[in-house]
Structure 1
Amino acid sequence: MNEAAPSPFAEQALPPWRRAVLKIGSSLLAADGGGLSPRFALGLAQFVSANLLAGREVVIVSSGAVAAGRAILPRAAEAGAAIAARQALAALGQAQLIALWQRFFERPVAQVLLTHDDLRNRRRYLNARATLNELLALGALPVVNENDTVSVDELKLGDNDNLAAIVAALVDADALFIATDIDGLYTADPRRDPQARPINEVTELTAEVLAMAGGSGSAAGTGGMHTKLQAAAKAGAAGIDTCLFNGRSGEVVRALAQGRLRGTRLHAGRSRIAARKYWLRHAPLEPGAIVVDGGAARALREKGASLLPGGIAAVQGEFRRGDMIEVRDGGGCIAHGISQYSAVDVRRIAGSHSRTIEATLGYNYGENVIHRDDLVLLS
């Protein structure tokens, strides 16, 4: 990795974290002349490995499929319209991208392809979250990329920065690390303004801070500093700090593995738990509701329990899996939560034991109708 020009950013301690998302852009993976290079990927993989050995969990969001595909068929882009050609290149390069990451790790690497539509649709969102959490529980390393072979608007945006922020919220990460090809956020573009000064910390993403961001810094990448600040805003709304750093600097990446950041830390506005509970409390509700018995109501209030089918007394209205609904007892609404099952399904399993769900429905989304992480109590 590059050892020239030490970082102008002051060293600071990383925020404590148990689970993080690491976003790596094309500019760190693209080889000169096309294809993928392990030059900078190796150091980032060592950072991931060090944290996995320490008992932490990491999800990688990696660009680079289009660059890899271009090396396989360099003339493919001339064959058709720009979007279709790039989609074809992404399809060709995706296997190469996963192979690059697998070579660095003894544990299995899992490919997860998402579009923004997958994450806007609540049912698909829940399915994606369940898959990623299961992969982490199994000890696999998820490598997420946008599904460029089918996306259109998202591909034109090259928006893996924002995708990484959404994935960070999806898996309840504590931190979002964005590896870029410059040292961090400056007061202006340092490649054009010699007076640009490094910004070590941002406590609030104001319009003034956003105005400091420039465009894309390389031919391989399509996301500039502005999309990184947008991603930090999304992550911050979920209570997740974002750290920007130079993924080309071996010194910076080695320090990161030791818990020290030489880059820009963008602070979340509130804690992760507080942000999620705020969202659960204020998100729009569907008209349906689940009515629970006294025992279930006490378990929710006093023990912070999940809602199991055995404590359900009735179902009101209609709702779908993934909808935000009310939870009621005899006195009225006591909580808001995201239902793992539709109203039709909840009616069929109400009052029964969790172990009978699959026998009753023919499928199983888990033993909880509403998981405690998807539920907020109302005082």
Structure 2
Amino acid sequence: MRVEAIVKLGGSVITAKDKPMIVNNRALNRLASEISASELEKIVIVHGGGSFGHPLALKYKLNEKFTGSEEQIAGFTITHRAMLKLNERVLEALGRKGLKVAPLPPLAFATLASGSLKSMFYEPFINALNMNLTPVTFGDIVFDSDRGFSIVSGDLLMSELSRKLQPLKAIFTIDVDGLYVDDPKYNPDVELITEATVAEVEPLLSRLRFKSSDATGGIRFKLEQACRIACAGIDVYIVNGLKPGRLFKALKGEKVRGTLIKGVR
């Protein structure tokens, strides 16, 4: 079995980032259509939390050490339930386009230690793929042996699943056209990096100046995980999920505006 692609549906794409608990239905439905139209048979989908997960994780300080407070314990459940609600919307959108999906919440298959991955149970993903189902997972709050609980981001799941399943490609959909050395939302003259090696991307990490209220590390952490995937010999595409057709082109291996981080071979 060869996995054809692992795709991240960015939280900033499928939700209204500045409006808590609101789905960007137009973007989500279109991305589901593009995945379906690609006709890829072995694909894994990961989605971010956007306005469902990040504000709650920050509000309840879920990336900090467990204090035992009733508020933090309540926040654990509230945040997880919010992510389940978003996941249900993603599953519905994919199902309407004919995909047979298998929801896999990370709370049930992953644990962390001091915020870093400690263990991950991959067999459900392999079983689902062998049954011609599309596994769908997401960034979530999980148990942490040192802190009590921590957030496992969709970007970390992308990295770990890619390294284990060895897909032909990994694709991140975000809300800009790809990788820049500055935030194009604030610097419209900055140039898009269309293709790069890991050796070329790594020096840029310390120079990135993106503004972020992301509870999971933002663009820098995303690129660190993208480089980990590329170091495993897998091509990584970063494309704008808000622009029609770009995910489809990346899935089909067609020329697309975005950034390609070439797998190390």
The alignment's TM-score, normalised by the length of structure 1, stands at: 0.55
Q: SS state of the match for residue 198, structure 2?
A: coil
Cα distance between partner residues in 2 of 1:256 and 1:168: 16
Structure 1 residue aligned with 2:26, among 30, 39, 45? 39
Cα distance between partner residues in 1 of 2:231 and 2:173: 20
| CA deviation profile, 1:270-328 (whole Å, cap 9, x unmatched) | 2xxxxxxxxxxxxxxxxxxxxxxxxxxxxxxxxxxxxxxxxxxxxxxxxxxxxxxxxxx
Which sections of structure 1, spanning at least 5 residues, go unmatched? 1-16, 271-379
Contact 2:11 2:49 (C-alpha < 8 Å) held by counterparts: yes
Contact 2:238 2:260 (C-alpha < 8 Å) held by counterparts: yes
Q: SS state of the match for residue 150, structure 1?
A: strand
Contact 1:159 1:227 (C-alpha < 8 Å) held by counterparts: no
Map of 1:130-279 to 2, 5 A cutoff?
Answer: 130-151=123-144, 154-155=150-151, 159-206=153-200, 207-217=202-212, 219=213, 222-258=216-252, 259-270=254-265
Contact 2:111 2:142 (C-alpha < 8 Å) held by counterparts: no
Matched positions, count? 240
Q: 1:209 to 1:36 in 2, by over 3 A?
A: same
Contact 1:77 1:86 (C-alpha < 8 Å) held by counterparts: yes
Cα distance between partner residues in 1 of 2:72 and 2:105: 18
Cα distance between partner residues in 1 of 2:71 and 2:9: 24
Other-structure match for 1:334:
none
Contact 1:35 1:69 (C-alpha < 8 Å) held by counterparts: no
Q: 1:203 to 1:81 in 2, by over 3 A?
A: farther
* Superposed displacement of residue 136, structure 1: 0.7
Structure 2 residue aligned with 1:98, among 80, 87, 93? 87
* Superposed displacement of residue 107, structure 1: 3.9
Q: Which amino acid aligns with 1:94?
A: M
Contact 2:5 2:251 (C-alpha < 8 Å) held by counterparts: no
1:113 aligns with 2:71: no
Cα distance between partner residues in 2 of 1:150 and 1:96: 20
Contact 1:20 1:58 (C-alpha < 8 Å) held by counterparts: yes
Other-structure match for 1:308:
none
Higher relative contact order (CA 8 A, sep 6+): 2
Q: 1:220 to 1:27 in 2, by over 3 A?
A: farther
Which sections of structure 2, spanning at least 5 residues, go unmatched? 62-68
Q: Alignment identity in percent?
A: 22
Q: 1:68 to 1:245 in 2, by over 3 A?
A: same
Q: Which amino acid aligns with 1:232?
A: A
Other-structure match for 1:347:
none
Contact 2:182 2:209 (C-alpha < 8 Å) held by counterparts: yes
| CA deviation profile, 1:125-158 (whole Å, cap 9, x unmatched) | 4xx2222111011121111124415355742xx6
RMSD across aligned C-alpha pairs, in angstroms?
3.3
* Superposed displacement of residue 224, structure 1: 2.2
* Superposed displacement of residue 24, structure 1: 1.9
